[in-house]
Structure 1
Amino acid sequence: MPKNDGALANPELTDQSLQNRVRGFAAGMASGLTKLAVGHPFDTVKIRMQTTSSADGRFKGPLDCFLKTIRQEGPRALYKGATPPLVGWMFMDSIMLGTMHNARMIQQQLNGDRPLSTFQYGLAGLAGGITVSFVATPVEQIKARLQVQYDAKSKTYNGPIDCIRQVVRNNGIFGLWQGLTPTMLFRSWFFVFWCTYQELSTKLKQTSLSDGSVSFIAGGLSATAFWIGAFPSDMVKNRYMTQPDVSPKKFPTPTSVARYVYQTQGLKGFYRGFMPSFLRAFPTNASAVFMFEFVMKLLSTSKANNEPL
């Protein structure tokens, strides 16, 4: 990855004040709320496609899944499982983006006056993705289990609290973290996301686009690159998390999920449900990154004007 040689270090990364360290967490919360509002219906369709197969005959494709969900369960069904991420994604994005911001600051200290390279921006994204996996795993597990309840006959959980209670009863407290390994693998792809974002935003800033447009476009395109690579690990993660709590488990390990998918559906099976993610990636992540950058700048302006947070 090329370095931005000749440029000055970002002053936001050389400011070691507590307020600057906290800004990334606050902006991350705003980003998480935006992501939920825009992206959850797409996510519900994606999860339902990932946890079924063409042999099941339940859905012919993403559009069929979308229409059947609305027709059989009503429009509100697209927001099934939204409560865990409503709370969780605020904190997840706060932790991920806050960690990323502080990782950038640490690297900037080591760099001195030299700006961060694209690779270093990617490393900061990787640090944020790995760190947040420990919070994301239980949140995503509860969300996914609720999303694959199709009707009253298949309803196992009465809500998020009941789902947590049953998972703990059946698998122990650490059962909430089953799927941690594929979650970490999936979120390690934020290295690619932030490398791509840094490169694209640097190029787009050389045009006549506004800063907001640069953040929106670069965020959307970076998310597209992210999902192309990360989708198979996300598919394995969700298939592993949503299997019934029976003994012995059909899939004792994430690797057994991957082996089963490959043997029964081939490589294309790892991309079942990809279209909803592809359609969701640009608007959801473009909006989320735009909100992150906007709040970061807003809080930076407040600090410059000596205004309280």
Structure 2
Amino acid sequence: MSTVAEGALAASDNKPQPSHYKGFVAGVFSGVAKLSVGHPFDTIKVRLQTSEKSHFRGPLDCVLQTIRNEGFRGLYKGATPPLVGWMFMDSLMLGSLTAYRRILRERVFAPRSLDMSAADKLPAYGHGIAGTFAGWTVSLIAAPVEHVKARLQVQYAADKAKRLYKGPIDCTKRIFKAHGVRGLYHGLFATMLFRTFFFFWWSTYDVFSHYFHNHTSLSTPAVNFWAGGLSAQVFWLTSYPSDVVKQRIMTDPLDPDKRKFRHWRDAAQAVWRENGWRGYWRGFVPCFLRAFPANAVALVAFEGVMRSL
């Protein structure tokens, strides 16, 4: 999931917006930075979420088994789809978040405000609403990207000849040939539900940003760094159970005769039936450890490129 473009926008309602091409180029670099730091954590997270409980004893065991059986490159399985997808997702998120914030500011919040000095600002929950709408919008790209990524990440065979999919392109072709566009978008509802929790991400980003600006002497980049990292932690604390269910759906067989989960509720109930409430938090440690550094590094890359353009 990409977050840097949104973070740059959420810092201030009054800053002039960057040219579209700058946001796209910066998004490429931020995507590379986030992928380099965060993808190994994501691979471990997905494997813990989707494997039998007896397969791995925990996050460290999953890391060691992956490296021992598949080499270090095994941690980067499925990396190409999100890398390519994030370039488009950042661009779409940047534009849609800007539009939603402007619409909310001008048509929802400004008419209600008696304080003209505050009429052009959004409250924290306004940022949250805009973030949710932008999350639903970007799901149209994120769903197939994350679907392909998830299926590649759960291929455990070290020998490429024994894998079902040779790579992201082969995986995409096979799914499309057998199941069409609907197959590629398997898990769209789960993806949109997961991104509904962007509300907590961008509302808390605004809260943290204002706090650091008003109560510390941190520079603006430092404020972005800390606010972005902390708000990412809040997002995962609120959204993680829905991500577990999403991954189970996306790695479910696509053949109707073999499919385990007909609806989102079926997958959620299966997680509970197999492992109780703990099942909704399986793989949380690598995800939580990933959230802060991945988003912080991506934000630094994004801001650096934006300043150089």
Matched residue, 1:5: none
Aligned counterparts of 1:170 and 1:256: Cα–Cα separation in 2: 24
Specify whether residues 284 and 132 from structure 1 end up closer, same or farther in structure 2 by C-alpha distance, changes over 3 A only.
Answer: same
Matched residue, 1:96: 93
Aligned counterparts of 1:76 and 1:10: Cα–Cα separation in 2: 42
Preserved CA contact (<8 Å) 1:227 1:278: yes
Matched residue, 1:201: 209
Matched residue, 2:222: 213
Matched residue, 2:135: 129
Aligned residue runs from structure 1 range 262-301, under 5 A: 262-295=272-305, 298=307
Identity %: 50
Aligned counterparts of 1:193 and 1:258: Cα–Cα separation in 2: 23
Alignment pair present for 1:70 and 2:63: no
Shift of 1:252: 1.9
RMSD value, Cα = 2.1
Aligned counterparts of 1:197 and 1:27: Cα–Cα separation in 2: 20
Matched residue, 2:41: 42
Structure 2 residue runs of 5 or longer lacking an equivalent are: 1-11, 111-115
Aligned residue runs from structure 1 range 144-183, under 5 A: 144-151=150-157, 152=159, 155-183=163-191
Preserved CA contact (<8 Å) 2:224 2:299: yes
Shift of 1:232: 1.1
Specify whether residues 29 and 122 from structure 1 end up closer, same or farther in structure 2 by C-alpha distance, changes over 3 A only.
Answer: farther
The 3-state SS of whatever aligns with 1:172 is helix
Scaled by the length of structure 2, the TM-score of the pair is 0.85
Scaled by the length of structure 1, the TM-score of the pair is 0.85
Specify whether residues 224 and 93 from structure 1 end up closer, same or farther in structure 2 by C-alpha distance, changes over 3 A only.
Answer: same
Aligned counterparts of 2:242 and 2:235: Cα–Cα separation in 1: 12
Specify whether residues 97 and 198 from structure 1 end up closer, same or farther in structure 2 by C-alpha distance, changes over 3 A only.
Answer: same
- The Cα offsets for residues 64-93 of structure 1, whole Å up to 9 and x where unpaired, read as 001110111100111111111110112112
Preserved CA contact (<8 Å) 1:29 1:89: yes
Structure 2 letter corresponding to 1:238: Q
- Count, aligned residues: 285
Aligned residue runs from structure 1 range 231-242, under 5 A: 231-242=240-251
Matched residue, 2:233: 224
Specify whether residues 188 and 25 from structure 1 end up closer, same or farther in structure 2 by C-alpha distance, changes over 3 A only.
Answer: farther
Matched residue, 2:113: none
Specify whether residues 10 and 237 from structure 1 end up closer, same or farther in structure 2 by C-alpha distance, changes over 3 A only.
Answer: closer
Structure 1 residue runs of 5 or longer lacking an equivalent are: 1-8, 300-308
Aligned counterparts of 1:265 and 1:96: Cα–Cα separation in 2: 35
The 3-state SS of whatever aligns with 1:185 is helix
Shift of 1:21: 5.8
Shift of 1:264: 1.6
Aligned counterparts of 2:300 and 2:124: Cα–Cα separation in 1: 19
Matched residue, 1:11: 14
Aligned counterparts of 1:282 and 1:58: Cα–Cα separation in 2: 28
Preserved CA contact (<8 Å) 1:42 1:277: yes
Alignment pair present for 1:260 and 2:270: yes
Aligned counterparts of 1:31 and 1:104: Cα–Cα separation in 2: 22
Matched residue, 2:7: none
Preserved CA contact (<8 Å) 1:28 1:96: no
Shift of 1:191: 1.0
